[in-house]
Amino acid sequence: MQRITILGATGSIGASTLDVLARHPEKYQVHALTAHGRVDELAAQCRAFRPARAVVGTAEAAQRLAQLIADLPVSVEYGAQALCDVAASPDTDTVMAAIVGGAGLAPTLAAARAGKKVLLANKEALVMSGQLFMDAVKEHKATLLPIDSEHNAIFQSLPQSYARQPGASGVARILLTASGGPFLNRAVDTLEDVTPEEACKHPNWVMGRKISVDSATMMNKGLEVIEAHWLFGAPAEMIEVVIHPQSVIHSMVSYVDGSVVAQLGNPDMRTPIAHALAFPERIESGVGQLDLTQMASLQFHRPDYQRFPCLALAFEALRDGGTAPALLNAANEVAVQAFLERRIGFRDIDRVIGRVMDEIPHGAASSIEAVMEQDARARAAAERAVAGLARA
């Protein structure tokens, strides 16, 4: 039995994970489920999966959850420390890191430091603290498996002996595919006016609201470039973004001999989740087999940086290094939230991030404290930029 903690159980990735687990009750047992709000949903999940522990954000939420599941032997906890506790618990083997945003960093790092098998969906954690996170994985002999579909595809396309040194394995390039999101073909001069509803309507994937907006700006791909850099030890020059609107090829690795190895499948996150859960074995995920004869065509083209300035900002942050990616991530989280709350327009997202990156000096990411301090400064600066743009 593999014992699992799901951080962010009520989210899109959390629900897909539980869907896969429910297909294999003989293999997996849920140790803990966590959610920020959405107490009713978490209560229903507790009823179905009978975890030993459940964690929510606040004392009030904990009180409500405890009432809803008073008949179950589930220990109800709340707060940031409880998240770290269930992630590092000796009673769990595997941690699905599926909290959205920087809030996931501390518990994901706690899982790595406790030497767990970490299934990483929370890309923001790695973007904020890549070096520190990878060092913790190595030092504490944790196992890190990517859930992000592109990175899972790259992982599957690399040799099993891969040691984060592309040259040593004959890797020429990592080809990160991107759907281009809902605004790939929309007239650029109308992007100022798009609504949160339009931005969240992804053509191929159903996801949480923050990552949906990130896909529309292509900041999601920018964060994924940084994620790929840390996961696979590849410099920015080796990572190429390729627009592939059908999202059937989930990413590729090209080798010095001219070979290109790709992973294909229907766009459904249960495939990478099942892959990482069972690795190195394979289990059924509920995703249907890909029928290539039903595909009209597969297209590929280069991204347009005028349309997607966030992608350029992310490459810049990766090249700058240090705390620059943490600043980028923090500014993006604030800007996306402001856009979702209709305080700023869609194109203001990249303006806010650009201003924060210019305003705050980038430092060394020498400790988690240093990263969190820069994160807080960037959030404050982003809020000021949002206020300025909202008035304009």
Residues within the interface to ligand NAD (CB under 6 A) = 8-14, 35-36, 38, 57, 98-100, 103, 121-124, 148, 205, 207-208, 210-211, 269
Residue in 148, 227, 348, 350 binding Mg ion, rule: CB under 5 A: 148
State in angstroms the smallest separation of the CB of 188 from Mg ion.
Answer: 24
Identify the CA nearest to 203 among candidates 187, 186, 225.
186
Nearest distance in Å: CB 265, Mg ion = 13
Which among 277, 270, 275 has a CA at the least distance from the CA of 27? Answer: 277
Q: Whose Cβ is closer to ligand NAD: residue 378's or residue 389's?
A: 378
Q: Any binding-site annotation on 124?
A: yes
Return d(Cα 64, Cα 308) in angstroms, integer. 43
Nearer to ligand NAD, 97 or 389 (CB): 97
Residue 162 partner contact from Mg ion, ligand NAD, none using kind-dependent CB cut-offs of 5 to 8 Å = none
Annotated ligand binding at 179? The verdict is yes
Strands 94-97 and 2-7, by their bridges, are: parallel
**Is 366 part of any known ligand binding site?**
no
The secondary structure of the chain in percent helix, strand, coil, rounded to multiples of 5, reads: 50, 15, 35
List all residues 6 or more positions away from 62 whose beta carbon is below 8 Å from its beta carbon.
56, 76, 77, 78
Cβ proximity to ligand NAD: between 7 and 142 the closer is: 7
Q: Does the annotation flag 149 for ligand binding?
A: yes
Q: Amino acid identity of 18? A: L
The residue among 2 and 204 lying less far from ligand NAD, judged by its C-beta, is 204
Is the Cβ of residue 124 or residue 355 nearer to ligand NAD in the bound state? 124
User: Are 328 and 352 a contacting pair, CB within 8 Å?
Assistant: no
- CA–CA gap between residue 238 and residue 315 (Å, rounded): 12
**Residue 239 annotated as binding?**
no
User: Residue 307: which of 178, 144, 138, 200 has the closest Cα?
Assistant: 178
- Is 243 annotated to bind a ligand? Reply is no
Q: Does 227 bind Mg ion (CB under 5 A)?
A: no
Report, in Å, the least distance between residue 159 CB and ligand NAD. Answer: 24
Closer residue to ligand NAD, CB minimum distance, 245 or 355: 245
Question: Does 297 count as an annotated binding residue?
Answer: no
Among Mg ion, ligand NAD, none, residue 222 binds (CB under 5-8 Å by kind):
none
Closest distance of CB 281 from ligand NAD, Å = 22
Nearest one of 290, 16, 253, 281 to 155, comparing CA atoms: 253
- Alpha-carbon torsion angle 197, 201, 206, 209, nearest 10: -40
Indicate the residue whose CB is closest to ligand NAD. 11
Which residue type sits at 231? L
Burial (CB count <10 Å: 0-12, 13-18, 19+), residue 248: middle
Bridging pattern class, strands 249-255 and 260-264: antiparallel
207 binds, among ligand NAD, Mg ion, none (CB under 5 to 8 A by kind): ligand NAD
Contact window for Mg ion (CB under 5 A) among 142-150, 228-236, 320-328, 355-363: 142-150
Sequence length of the chain is: 392
78 or 133, CB closer to Mg ion? 133
Q: Could you tell me the smallest distance in angstroms from the CB atom of residue 192 to Mg ion?
A: 26
Tell me whether residue 383 is annotated as binding.
Answer: no
Q: Which stretch binds Mg ion (CB under 5 A): 12-20, 41-49, 141-149, 309-317?
A: 141-149
Any alpha helices (H) in 114-174, and if so which ranges? Answer: 123-139, 149-157
Show binding-site residues: 10-13, 122-124, 148-150, 179, 202, 208, 215, 220-221, 224
Residues found near Mg ion in the complex (CB under 5 A): 148-150
